[in-house]
Structure 1
Amino acid sequence: MAMDMGIAASTTFGIAKNAYIISVKVLPRDEADIVKGIDVILNRHKQRRKNSNFEGSVVDLSLGIE
């Protein structure tokens, strides 16, 4: 179930008002692709924490195995 970003993190409504949401989708061929995706997330976090209004980061991972 996908949550609409406007409902989850709009400027006036939602549980995370004014949140900055970045979606990173990884279609892994192997574990290295998953690690690369996490690396993208960590680099973005490091960039954002330099901002004076930075309050934190949350990462949500969904992993499926066939």
Structure 2
Amino acid sequence: MLIYRFLTGEDDSAFCHKVTKALSEGWALHGNPTYAFDAESRKMRCGQAVTREAKDQPYDPDKKLVDY
């Protein structure tokens, strides 16, 4: 089963660390990153989809994606 997550955050080093951590845990980049202006906070925000293969595990909507 292929698991999908969409990571988001402010455009700062913490977001880069979040993506790097996911990659180090076996997640792979999926598609291009996104970049948008958040008018409410007046800051730029980033997003990156990541996927990971979870073999021999049925989907459970109550399970956290990071626990697969």
TM-score normalised over the length of structure 1: 0.38
- Say which structure, 1 or 2, has more relative contact order (CA 8 Å, 6+ apart): 2
Select the structure that is richer in strand.
2
Select the structure that is richer in helix.
1
